[in-house]
């Protein structure tokens, strides 16, 4: 969405509270011609689609707290007639660290074929973030030599 090559157009859309934060809302639209969003359905080719939606930006900290988007103008013959998503972000402290990171905390995806009355909704909650680490030791040791293999004697 924020890649310049998408040519996304943003327009102010008002203010709102999200949780305990004051936010500024922007509506956006990404045209199909510059979109990188792909849609894939069973027994149908993958297509690139334009999309539009809204983002909520923390008015004080200037952090994106929510992105909602929906696919625009799907071909009439395509099995998917609707594709939407919403992702919520928040500052999360990783276990064992005193530093917070802006990370997704919840995501919802809806895909539908209204003609067949098929609706799929996935709801994800992201919890228990933690830092993964390891210790690596590089040893400058020549490879062990192996004795040559002798052919069997008959």
Digit-coded pLDDT (tens) for 66-96: 999 999 988 888 888 899 999 999 999 887 7
Structure tokens at 91: 């500052």
Phi then psi for residue 3, to 5 deg, are -70, 130
For the entire predicted model, the pTM comes to 0.79
pLDDT tens for 52-73 read: 999 999 999 999 999 999 999 8
Positive or negative torsion for Cα 38, 90, 97, 61: positive
Q: Of 55-59, 99-103, 120-124, 140-144, which range is least confident?
A: 140-144
Q: What is the pLDDT of residue 143?
A: 64
pLDDT at position 148 over 70: no
Q: What is the pLDDT of residue 54?
A: 98
Structure tokens at 22: 């004051």
Q: What is the pLDDT of residue 16?
A: 95
């Amino acid at each position: 969405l924020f890649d310049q090559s998408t040519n996304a157009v943003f327009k102010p859309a008002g203010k709102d509270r999200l949780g305990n934060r004051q936010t500024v809302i922007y509506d956006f639209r990404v045209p199909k011609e510059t979109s990188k969003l792909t849609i894939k359905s069973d027994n149908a080719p993958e297509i690139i689609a334009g999309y539009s939606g809204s983002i909520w930006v923390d008015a004080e900290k200037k952090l994106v707290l929510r992105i909602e988007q929906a696919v625009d103008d799907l071909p009439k013959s395509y099995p998917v007639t609707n594709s939407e998503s919403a992702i919520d972000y928040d500052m999360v402290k990783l276990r064992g660290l005193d530093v917070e990171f802006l990370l997704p905390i919840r995501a919802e995806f809806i895909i539908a074929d209204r003609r067949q009355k098929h609706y799929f909704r996935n709801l994800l909650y992201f919890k228990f973030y933690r830092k993964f680490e390891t210790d690596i030791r590089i040893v400058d040791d020549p490879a062990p030599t192996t004795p040559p293999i002798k052919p069997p004697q008959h």
